[in-house]
Structure 1
């Protein structure tokens, strides 16, 4: 029977040792948690205050995470809006480029008028029309109408030589009767 007592006492000792080791391990974890919660301070030994600090930090971290999630959602929405605006601006830019090219082609077509051609001033400024064209005023029949935009002198001296060349007229123009 003595053996039975020895077995039971050794079992109690080993159980007490295991409990002591478990408590030491738990205390070590509490001190680690205390160091993590307040890195600059000495670790607390009061388990209740450590747990309350941990709960407070967890609540704060959850609130921060929620705030960051909302901020991220807002930024994603802003990104979508900016992408839409960017595409609209790109389309507008392409339209403006096409309009610019069209206008440039029109300017080239206008500037490439045949040499020696001078449009009538009424084509540019209808307000510059002389009063002789108005229906209630008639010009005298023996005089040619006077145009203030065209001086009363010959302009042939300022025409380029290519326009004045008449050697090809018989080939280019039908004979006049």
Structure 2
């Protein structure tokens, strides 16, 4: 990471090779505290340069440590804000998923209920088709409405009509058509 100019400046600061060997060489075990401090500062400077290049890729890295730290703090705040927005969005989506699952289960239950009702109606239709097509006798007239002197439940009891059966269903369509009635049957004066 160190350029040859930086190594030359480092060696000029420490002309005695036994004092400090330079950045690329490790300090000798008996080296001074100044050499170790210089290596630590150089390593820290390299980390600052690396951090500056991460913050603004594609641009030449900044050398001002304060500017790098300000940019890093701004970036951390921005990323924390985005992370919080994503957490909120994630929790909203999770709630929506729970609501949709509940709705899905309700719809599934309703589908099962409707399916059972459909099968019940189909069975009823099959049973109605299996019965004979003639009309059954209406229920007997209650005793309160029976003619005088007739015992309820007697077989000779007359029945009034077939309630609830519309007779027009059994008429041909030409007889039911009333669009030409005013021409065919003019009103009597």
* Normalised TM-score (structure 1): 0.61
Q: How does 1:86-165 map to 2 (within 5 A)?
A: 86-114=104-132, 117-119=133-135, 122=162, 125-126=165-166, 128=167
Structure 1 residue 124, shift from structure 2 partner: 5.8
Whole-Å separation in 2 of the counterparts to 1:38 and 1:45: 13
Whole-Å separation in 1 of the counterparts to 2:135 and 2:57: 90
Whole-Å separation in 2 of the counterparts to 1:31 and 1:122: 102
| Corresponding position: 1:41 with 2:59 | yes
Match of 1:54 among 46, 60, 72: 72
Whole-Å separation in 2 of the counterparts to 1:92 and 1:124: 33
Q: How does 1:47-86 map to 2 (within 5 A)?
A: 47-86=65-104
Q: Which residue of 1 is the match for residue 147 of structure 2?
A: none
Structure 1 residue 122, shift from structure 2 partner: 3.7
Q: How many residues align?
A: 120
Name the Cα RMSD after superposition. 2.7
Structure 1 residue 13, shift from structure 2 partner: 6.4
Whole-Å separation in 1 of the counterparts to 2:105 and 2:95: 16
* Normalised TM-score (structure 2): 0.57
Structure 1 residue 125, shift from structure 2 partner: 2.2
Whole-Å separation in 2 of the counterparts to 1:104 and 1:122: 26
Q: Which has the higher helix share?
A: 1
